Amino acid sequence: MQNSIIHIHYYHSPIGELVLGDYIDQLCLCDWRYRKMRNEVDARILKGLQAEFVENVTPLLTETQHQLQAYFDKKRTMFDLPLLLVGTDFQQTVWKALQQIEYGKTQTYMGLSKQLNNPKAIRAVASANGANAISIIIPCHRIIGSNQELVGYAGGISAKKKLLALEQGNQLELF
């Protein structure tokens, strides 16, 4: 019965509150607590893992907080955490591609679609990007519009702008 629990903990980042989730020592959730799709994302994860949320701090959640804090302190550019991606095969393909976007760089939905050898899948790629439940660590904030504009982000455009400013070394736009 123990495997049917996702341990969750709330982390107050410098740019917004995140909910972190640990399922059998794998991070399955690092998402904005107050995002518009909170219920849909939670339902997908709970159903996919046939589990329930229980508030409890685990060693993995503590380590996730430490790595996130090091990221915000500009002491970490990559994360080293065991991830559990809960979604369709297509969503998982998109999320894995997102992890290839280097710190401080951006990519467009069109560019990501082309990278996946599916240039007509722009909307599907955008939808998968929006369904990402492991924000920051799977860097969906690095996706921008073809016109170089900041477009939708689960944590809000302000948070996206701050994350990109942090990564690109633009101190004037931080926090």
Instruction: State pLDDT tens for residues 87-109.
Output: 999 999 999 999 999 999 999 99
Mean pLDDT confidence for 156-167: 91
CA-to-CA distance for 161 and 57, rounded, in angstroms? 30
pLDDT tens, 137-153? Answer: 999 999 988 888 887 88
Of the two residues 82 and 2, the one the predictor is more confident about is 82
Mean pLDDT confidence for 80-85: 97
| Catalytic residue annotation | 140
CA-to-CA distance for 169 and 163, rounded, in angstroms? 10
Predicted confidence band of residue 85 (pLDDT cuts 50, 70, 90): very high
Q: Say whether pLDDT at 174 is over 80.
A: no
What token pair was written down for 84?
A: 């559990």
CA-to-CA distance for 85 and 21, rounded, in angstroms? 12
Nearest in space to 40 (alpha carbons), one of 130, 148, 156, 138: 130
CA-to-CA distance for 41 and 47, rounded, in angstroms? 10
- pLDDT value, residue 12: 96
What token pair was written down for 54?
A: 């229980």
Mean pLDDT confidence for 23-29: 97
What token pair was written down for 140?
A: 């969906």
- pLDDT value, residue 1: 43
- pLDDT value, residue 171: 54
Q: Say whether pLDDT at 163 is over 60.
A: yes
